[in-house]
Structure 1
């Protein structure tokens, strides 16, 4: 008998497979409100079973994009295909799309079960099947014991799950979530994020979520579209958005980052460049995303957790700066040190708090050395 071969888990990445057909296809979509362009000539594909996040500040166009998918707004130009069909002329109630709002919009006079059944009954589903579907949805969101309660008799997190169950009851091809966790406190929001991911995976429904919460998008999404002024600045997986941002805007928007701006100078044989950024400071050595010519104005972006801190001068390192601890942000599991260099520039370094706070190595006004490897950050020219 031959030895069993262990199956390698497949990576979910339909966007990387040319043979895959997208579920949603925006083709040169523009949306104007008078003289204001909310969405500017946007083309993007979203695939079946994706958990896709639209992320950006207020006014970037993410909600307008979602409302066009739902049918509440009509593009000024362009086509939106869903499962190969142009849905622009299709009214909202005829689209295989459902939308879950931040307010949940539950009927206060109906029970949890009746709220979930409401859309099914209006779709003229046979009564004997409505009850079974409601039970299935209650089980999916782990609220089997709460079907007879009214919305005011359950918690905020449970109301959120009722709204989710109601949205999924008719098995839409696409579920749109508009800031769905915004009304929850932080701890419950984090718990609910994982519940959302599990439910999305169980049902196989394509989720598109609108959020301005970077941590939320990084947690739940298979891919993130970072938006700015009606355009998608970068569309990629959470790890690539964080580790290899394609612009200063994305690097600065996602998480905490140190940005050092200067001019590219001498090049190393291995593709690394030197960035001259302050008189009296050694040049920063970094790895550019694309070839950079001498004299190009560029920005070196490095995350605080990749910056090392030491009281002793680190020997043999390429990127070393010296300064004084100006401030300390204690966040329980980590501490962020704000170190002011002699030229006034502040660099942030982050360390894990493996010991009790009274045993901390560094404190205010300590003189310290910071250093990082040549590949720890990225060189950006946009």
Structure 2
């Protein structure tokens, strides 16, 4: 049976759950969000990713109702959010600090919002039990927050946020306080819970690995603008700018000038160096400035010059980053240009072929690099 691919953003008939329409947010003279228009769909796990100060938290605070747009509209399920106070929106927010009540048990923490809404006792009990089961916290129901681990507290905060069945859950750096291994495990738990509940999640993070793991789409932000919003695979393989290519994962950026040649372009990048070659669907004028973006795992490293590749350059190994399963070689070309090449460490340490100061050949296929404007 063919698997149904979840891609509402490619379906012209799909109605967005959230619409940002020309949204600008200023604080005095500072523009935090600069005229942004984009959509988020129901059941999406949408990530706002970017460095500190890029505007991602302001975007989230406007959705939550803690800030109002200076210009433009935010629409949730067809309703303009501006006049609706935060506590009346079908939006819940989970803070980085979790903000649990220390004097209440896990059960009471999860029940808090439902009690405040005056729900009947049996309805509250059924919903809290459902949330405990969903987040696998049944055995901790009677404990206070200080009697459970950081990862469990994180799940209590999540259960409390989901108890009122919001249309939209906002997660502000939700895994920032967890150690690396627990964070990884919790990422998969989050995805699982999001899928089971069908709630739309919007996560703010500066951790690209986290965004790429959990999200259906990632919006890479810079200076109050979304530079590219796309699936993790497309953001990585087909970045739309040098900024996105450079921000996500490891990459070598080589500036040059393009000249049409056959199916692709020859790129002159240094005097006395043979031009590099790249095939691309983007059109360039002859002599136009361009940038080659080359991922290290797409670069082969060898002692001999490969006979079958037109992209082959010789250089010297300057640095080696050993990451256990992978090694990244930083190779300097005669003109000073550095290129990174990555290999999987399938052999024992003593059998590895290359070390510092070795002269090596780097090569890659005609379609391995992405050719970018500017």
Q: How does 1:1-382 map to 2 (within 5 A)?
A: 7-265=1-259, 267-270=260-263, 272-382=264-374
TM-score (norm. length: structure 2): 0.99
Q: CA RMSD in A?
A: 0.7
For the residue of structure 1 that corresponds to 2:68, the secondary structure is coil
Q: CA deviation at 1:264?
A: 1.1
Q: Is the 8 A contact 1:324 1:340 kept in 2?
A: yes
Q: Is the 8 A contact 1:289 1:378 kept in 2?
A: no
Q: Distance in 1 between matches of 2:208 and 2:345?
A: 24
Segments of 5+ residues of structure 1 without an aligned counterpart are: 1-6
For the residue of structure 1 that corresponds to 2:107, the secondary structure is helix
Q: CA deviation at 1:89?
A: 1.1
Q: Deviations over 1:153-176 (max 9, x none)?
A: 110000000000000000000000
Q: Distance in 2 between matches of 1:192 and 1:332?
A: 23
Q: Deviations over 1:226-265 (max 9, x none)?
A: 0111111001000000000000000000000011101112
Q: CA deviation at 1:222?
A: 0.1
Q: Deviations over 1:307-330 (max 9, x none)?
A: 000001110211111011111100
4+ residue segments displaced more than 6 Å: none
Deviates more, 1:163-172 or 1:122-131: 122-131
Segments of 5+ residues of structure 2 without an aligned counterpart are: none
Q: Distance in 1 between matches of 2:261 and 2:333?
A: 26
Deviates more, 1:282-291 or 1:141-150: 282-291
For the residue of structure 2 that corresponds to 1:365, the secondary structure is coil
Q: Distance in 1 between matches of 2:135 and 2:359?
A: 53
Q: Is the 8 A contact 2:280 2:367 kept in 1?
A: no
Q: Distance in 2 between matches of 1:371 and 1:111?
A: 60
For the residue of structure 2 that corresponds to 1:337, the secondary structure is strand
Q: How many residues align?
A: 374
For the residue of structure 2 that corresponds to 1:37, the secondary structure is strand
Q: Is the 8 A contact 1:338 1:347 kept in 2?
A: yes
Q: CA deviation at 1:281?
A: 1.4
TM-score (norm. length: structure 1): 0.97
Q: Is the 8 A contact 1:102 1:180 kept in 2?
A: yes
